[in-house]
Amino acid sequence: MQGVSEYITDMVERTVDFLPKLIGAIIILIIGWIVGRLLGKYISKFLDKMGFDDAIKNTVFGKGIERSGISVAHFFDLVIRWFVYLVAIMAATNVLDIEFVTEFMEKVVSYIPNIVAFILVLVVGFVVIDFLADFVENITASAEVRLVKPVISLLRMFLYFVIAILALTQLRLDLTIVYLFLEPLAWGIGIGLGVAIAVIFGFGLKERAPEIMDRILGIVESKKE
C-alpha cells in the first residue's frame, strides 16, 4: 500500500509541476494563433493596396497559385500565418520542455527564412521578367517585324528557368548535378537568343527606331505625370 501511495503522490506532484507549463504553452499557442491571423490579414491587405497582388497575378507563379483555388493575397496570408504559428509552436514546445519536439521545431523554423527567400526570388524575378518582356512587346507592337513575339516568349521562358534555378538554391538543395547538365545548355540557349534578338532588333527595327524611341519617351513621360 505504501508503494501505491508513493506512486500516486509522485504522479500528483508531477501533474502539479506540469500544469503551469501546459497552461503557459496553451497561452502561447492562442497568442500565436491571434497574431498570425491578424498579421497575415493586414500584410496581405497592404500588399494588395500596393499593387503587389495585381502584379503577381499576371505571372506564371501567380497563375499557378490561382489555379490551385486560392488567390495570391490569400496565399501570402497563409504563408505569414503559418510562419507565426510555427514560431508559436516552437515556443510552446520549449515551455513544455519536450526535447525531441523542440529540436524538430527549431529545425523547421530555421528553414523558414530559406522558404521565404525562395518565394521572394521567384515572385520578384517573375514580376520583373514579365514587366520587361511586356514593355518590349508594347514598344515594338507597331513594328511589323517577324519573330519578335516568339523570340520574346522564348526569352521569357529562358529567364523563368534561370530564376527558378536561383530560387531553388535558396532552399539549400544540392543542385550540382543539375548545374553540370544544364549550365552548358543554358549558355547555348542564352547566346542563341541574344544573337536572335540582336539580328531582329538590329535589322528588323532599324527603320522604325525613331518611332519606337518616341513611344518609349511617351511612356516615360506618362509615368512621370
1 and 85 part of one domain:
yes
Q: How confident is the model at residue 206 (pLDDT cuts 50, 70, 90)?
A: low
pLDDT single digits (tens) 72-124: 777 788 888 888 898 888 888 888 877 777 787 778 878 888 888 888 888 88
Domain for residue 194, yes or no? yes
- Boundaries of domain holding 9: 1-97
24 and 65 part of one domain:
yes
Domain for residue 201, yes or no? yes
Domain for residue 132, yes or no? yes
124 and 169 part of one domain:
yes
- Residue 56 pLDDT greater than 60, yes or no: yes
Q: Rounded to whole angstroms, how far apart are CA atoms 75 and 81?
A: 10
Average pLDDT over residues 126-134: 80
Buried b (16+ CB within 10 A) or exposed e, 53-68: bebbeebbbbeebeee
pTM as predicted: 0.63
195 and 155 part of one domain:
yes
Q: What is the DSSP-derived secondary structure letter of residue 194?
A: H
- Residue 222 pLDDT greater than 60, yes or no: no
40 and 131 part of one domain:
no
- Residue 34 pLDDT greater than 90, yes or no: yes
Judge whether 36 and 82 are in contact, CB under 8 Å: yes
Name the phi and psi angles at 154, rounded to 5: -65, -40
Q: How confident is the model at residue 204 (pLDDT cuts 50, 70, 90)?
A: low
- Residue 205 pLDDT greater than 60, yes or no: no
**pLDDT in the model for residue 117:** 87
145 and 53 part of one domain:
no
Q: How confident is the model at residue 30 (pLDDT cuts 50, 70, 90)?
A: very high
